[in-house]
Amino acid sequence: MLAKRIVPCLDVAGGRVVKGVNFEGLRDAGDPVEREAIYEQQGADEIVFLDITASVEGRDTLVDLVSRTSESVFIPFTVGGGVRTIGDMQRVLAAGADKVGINTRAVDDPDLVTRGAEAFGSQCIVVAIDAKRTDGSWEVYTHGGRTPTGLDALQWAHQVVERGAGELLVTSIDADGTRAGYDIALLRALAEWAPVPIVASGGAGSLDDFRGALQEGGADAALAASVFHYGTYTVGDVKAYLAEHGVPVRPV
């Protein structure tokens, strides 16, 4: 069985790491480059860096920050937020990112997923899906969780995988920042059919939440932010717990 990945996430606004609850009430959590270096030392498998206000503000991703990150961090990292064109993807990848994440623009222009996969390979294209429960299903939201789209999250996931997405980063808006656990039902519904890796996001609060996402939810990776940013756990703590409970992880 492939090792499961533990992925710290840095939501960035105004050049600083921030964290909120249900995508709101953002608090400062430090310098992104410094935080990423710390997580690499702790044994993180990858890093996700999301410029969470780029789409709302209609501007490009902070490419200079991506470049600084690539100079000091040597594990794979994904960059998302404000990626709207093939040119944006090229700039982010050229600055040192290993993958690009798209969400809002993918909904507005689904063919961007196809063009990106054709240009750079599916392994570089991560489609982020921010989903909120609505009447027994999950609806896709864009613009940092602010805009409902009417799209069913599972149907949308099928579409982007068919278009060439190589990974799905799935965030439960309901669970985000609450530390009440990942949305296991959402993860399981995706993992049952998806031929690409599923990264679970939103809700990590306890060590067992990580195990639940990876074992019960069937995710390939578990992403978290606040529990790492505010020192509740280290990446090493999470990996030690998972290893004790039979979840295959790369050693720290």
- Please, which residues bridge with residue 222 across strands? 6, 200
Taking the C-alpha atoms of 164, 204, 209 and 188 in order, what is their torsion angle to the nearest 10 degrees? -30
Asked if 212 and 238 touch (Cβ cutoff 8 Å), the reply is: no
- Residues 102, 113: Cα–Cα separation, whole Å: 8
- Residues 54, 147: Cα–Cα separation, whole Å: 14
- Residues 116, 98: Cα–Cα separation, whole Å: 13
3-state SS record for 147-173: EEEEEEHHHHHHHHHHHCCCEEEEEEC
- Please, which residues bridge with residue 137 across strands? 134
Identity at 45, one-letter amino acid code: D
User: Which residues are designated catalytic?
Assistant: 11, 130
